[in-house]
Chain A
């Protein structure tokens, strides 16, 4: 059996006695891009720092290339792990030019080789010819590219990205995260990204682990996290949506104020038990002949789409995403229909 490149086995980390990460398992295979997503304070950065070797583990172990690099009482120092890391504030060396930054850890290779590597890395991150600029002459996005080039220069197998795009504006964030994904995939480098921004996580990660309070609650693809969240926290944290109360009639049928809904999956709870049904904005569509009457409570223009908050006749509030040319004002009445592909239900 092939071993994963990186393996975290039931690790526990503490900060001054307070448990930050508990009983956490993570396997990362060669070439994967895994993203740890969670609200601030959930321990995701601690996990990353434990992998990098800045944070000792209090229990469990971390294996890299099938070698134990962290266990209680032992932490292989970050210098010896050969892991690349990109930091939130870039952490570039301000008194050096771009080339100097990229090859600072490689000076033992000699000047000519350093120059060659620097040029190669600059080409990869799309900064050709910028080698002799100073850091303060670059924009935020360019600085983060330099930071990425610096992390890639020693050709690590694993690269850690600590909220790398959170200091950039939204447009740059999306563009750069796509580019970085492309670069890592093309170079065959395994990556672990930590972020609190789900769009960044969706754009970057093959797989996303949603973290809360030191645990990974669900590790799955973006599609599955959105459409079949494993628990309420994930459902709440990922994407938008509302919960509607209902009663389970049979394992795959729920009676709600919006009508009786049958779904594509079965739940094991007793028929008759009270449940909550997750309704995503895309589950409710505009339909002039639809069965449900609603009035517009709020509207948020998003460009191609408009996100409406609708109040149904029985006072239930739901979110709905209409194409932008269905333009309604607050207070207007609309008719909608349910288009539920995935029925997600949690016990009350």
Chain B
């Protein structure tokens, strides 16, 4: 087999119209080079063309398609017998391709390619996730920049909204956070009692509750609560402002929505979440204490003694995650609000999306942080 040479086309202006000299192999193998070579030429429909295929080695449907596209379907159908190098086979190929181009068959079997379909979906979803991530990072950057710009100008600090948001996000959430973590604390204690009683290690139930709440459950449960309670509220508030064109109204008045709406919300969340985490830890440990007292006969003083023996470092490990979670939750809540459209339906959709996203990211970050702290030996 001889080495195949990439096909080429050369255009020569002759006395009666244009001469096209084709050489080389017109096959799929050389498609890129061919299409580049063909792409340089333009033929208008009126010019008579003299075709020469003598130099052509092989030609397959890919090459034929390019040639037909170059010539145009009408001219292909009317190719005279006398074209040098146009064998009956080639002529048949060109006409078939020409027909296919004129009457494209819609592929109705597309849905049968299950594997391809799944891959396409994965690809599309990945692109969307990638784009969302870029948007989130962009928004994070804008928020930080705005924060840095406002920081040295105390006159522009918006203290009233900040305090008002802290009240709504933090203070009003105290009962629900305390109750929930109290119950989870009790459940963890019961679980510990059930498992550890067989080993005769019931006393370690106290450690189980204390460690888990200080390091993980306190901050995680609070963050999830706030993701549900606050991220959704942020999205709904900002989304409805957008639907009502209030955001545009702010901007034409020369005001920055990020400075006015986003910063107070995120800062309030970053203040509230650590405080609530502290309450959550206390409440969880209290719930564990109650169960220990009632079903394990561990006295309150003994319980507190053991709790007291737990190094404080575990509490700080848990608490250190709180501001980060707060930042992410607030960011996602606000961003989804800005992304929502003009309709009430869209605000609803984005509210759901903001809750799902923020809970997902909180748990993901917590897992990463747990690994990190474990490896670091803290």
Contact, CB under 8 Å: A79 / B251:
yes
* A54 CB–B CB distance under 8 Å: yes
Could you say which residues of chain A place their CB within 8 Å of the CB of B253?
104-105, 150, 154
Q: Which B243-273 residues have C-beta < 8 A from chain A? A: 244-246, 248-256
User: Are A77 and B244 in contact, with the CB atoms below 8 A?
Assistant: no
How many Å lie between the Cα of A91 and that of B243 in the bound state? 9
A-side contacts of B244, CB under 8 Å: 89, 91
A93 touches B246 (CB 8 A): yes
User: B169 to chain A: closest CB distance in Å?
Assistant: 17
B62-85 vs A, Cβ < 8 Å mask (1 yes, 0 no): 000000000000000000000000
**Which residue numbers of B lie inside 8 Å of A, CB to CB?**
155, 244-246, 248-256
Q: Interface size class for chain A?
A: 20 to 34
Check A52 against B252 for contact (C-beta < 8 Å). Answer: yes
Q: Are A85 and B249 in contact (CB under 8 A)?
A: yes
Q: Is the CB of A91 within 8 A of B255?
A: no
Least CB distance from B257 to A in Å reads 9
Is A82 in contact with chain B by the CB < 8 A criterion?
Answer: yes
Query: Are B246 and A154 neighbours in the complex by a CB distance under 8 Å?
Result: no
Q: Give the CA-CA distance A78 to B253 in the complex, in Å.
A: 8
Q: Could you jot down 18 A-B contacts, CB within 8 Å?
A: A52-B248, A52-B252, A54-B248, A79-B254, A79-B255, A83-B252, A85-B248, A85-B252, A87-B249, A91-B245, A91-B248, A92-B246, A93-B249, A104-B250, A104-B255, A105-B255, A108-B155, A150-B253
Interface residues of A (CB under 8 A from B): 52-54, 77-85, 87-89, 91-93, 104-105, 108, 150-151, 154
How long is the Cα–Cα vector from A237 to B244 in the complex, in angstroms? 30
Closest CB of chain A to B265's CB: distance in Å?
14
Considering the chains assembled together, what is the distance between the CA atoms of A83 and B248 in angstroms?
12
- Nearest B residue to A77 via CB reads B251
With A92-B246, A92-B249 given, can you name 7 additional A-B contacts, CB distance below 8 Å?
A52-B252, A54-B251, A79-B252, A83-B252, A89-B244, A104-B255, A105-B254
C-alpha spacing A150/B256, complex, angstroms: 16
Cβ-defined partner of B254 (8 Å) among A88, A91, A93, A154:
A154
What CA separation (Å) do A154 and B251 show in the bound complex? 13
**Closest A residue by C-beta to B156:** A108
Q: Closest residue of chain A to B257, judged by CB?
A: A79
**What residues on A are CB-neighbors of B245 within 8 Å?**
87-89, 91
Complex: chain A residue closest to B240, CB-CB: A94
Chain A residues in 8 Å Cβ range of B249: 85, 87, 91-93, 150
Using CB atoms, name the residue of chain B closest to A101.
B249
